Each structure stands twice: as C-alpha cells, then as structure tokens.
Amino acid sequence: FDSLHGLARASQAQLLRIHGIGEAQAARLMAVLELSRRLQAPLADERPRVSSPGEAALLLAPRLGHLTQEELHVILLDTRNRVLGIHGLYKGSLNASVIRIGEIFRPAIEAPAAAIIVAHNHPSAEVSPSPEDVAVTRQLVKAGKLLDIEVLDHVIVGQGGQFASLKERGVGFDLA
C-alpha cells in the first residue's frame, strides 16, 4: 500500500488479497487502524473549543483525511464554540441535489447547538471548493439564519493535513 496512509485507506477486501492475511488478521489490522484514528481524537470528557478552520480540520482529519470517497460531517458547537458532538451525515459522491439541508441541521436542533461547522473531504489532494460546495454553503447559511443556528464555516479536508475554509476564501458566506 506504499505507506501507512495507503494502508489506512485499504478495505478489508484489499487486505484479504495479500498472501498470508486471512479474515482474522484483516479484522485485527482494521481494528488497529480504527483505534489509531480514535487515539488522535480528543478525550471524550474533554470538550475541545474550535476557534479556527485549522482547528476544525485537525479535529476531523483522523475521520476524513484518509477516505477514498466523500463524506460530510457536522461539528455541533455550544455558545462558546466547544464541541457538543460530531455527526457523519453523508457518504459517497456529494452534490447539491443529494444533500438535504434539513438533515444537516437535525443533529444541531436535537443537541441543541448554537452553531455548526460543516465539513467534508475531497479524496484527491485538491481541496479547492467546487461550485456545488459553494452553492450548498449558501443554502446552509440561509437555513442557519432562519433556524438561529450559525454556520461558522464549511471546511474541506484533504489528505496530509490539507484543508480549505470557504469562509476564509469568502465564498458561500456572501449573503446580505
């Protein structure tokens, strides 16, 4: 797999194709890799504060940075921008027609959260926002205003710690 990152992206089926790796060994490898990802996350009793797009990207890199398909997650925040929870909402190819804005806000309403940060990954090394990313962000910001749940940012996470903030780039948040 060329590197540990390549191994982390491997599926169980891919591991089973390697001579000498059976079901049990593949399951152990998958478990070790999942434990490694979880060790990178903050302790459960510590509620980290997210005060920048970089901190959001760092928080989500263990979940999103190694994936081979797009996933969309939402970080729920309290009034002091402390993390209430992180919810994975969509898997697969993401575009504006697939994402239901209401589903993104559901965990925030249930929490209840004062703000959210939406994040998804680009499996390629390219983290520039697509026109669909910008369109979805505009819809989220509008809906957030109606629901009184602030959308603080939309972050795109790439491989190797790369990320892009749509808010920092001034796209999608340009509503009057």
User: CB-based contacts of 159: which residues, under 8 Å, 6+ apart?
Assistant: 5, 65, 66, 123, 124, 125
φ, ψ (nearest 5 deg) of residue 55:
-65, -40
- Cα distance between residue 70 and residue 68, in whole Å: 7
pLDDT per residue as tens digits for the range 71-97: 999 999 999 999 999 999 988 765 554
pLDDT at 128 over 70: yes
Instruction: Using alpha carbons, list the distances in angstroms from residue 13 to 16, 20, 78.
Output: 5, 13, 40
The string of DSSP letters for 111-150 reads TT-SEEEEEEE-SSS--PPPHHHHHHHHHHHHHHHHHT-E
pLDDT per residue as tens digits for the range 1-10: 888 878 888 8
- Cα distance between residue 173 and residue 118, in whole Å: 13
pLDDT > 70: what percent of the chain?
Answer: 93
pLDDT per residue as tens digits for the range 18-60: 999 999 999 999 999 888 877 776 555 577 899 999 999 999 9
Strand partners, 156: 120, 164
Strands 83-91 and 150-157 turn out to be unpaired
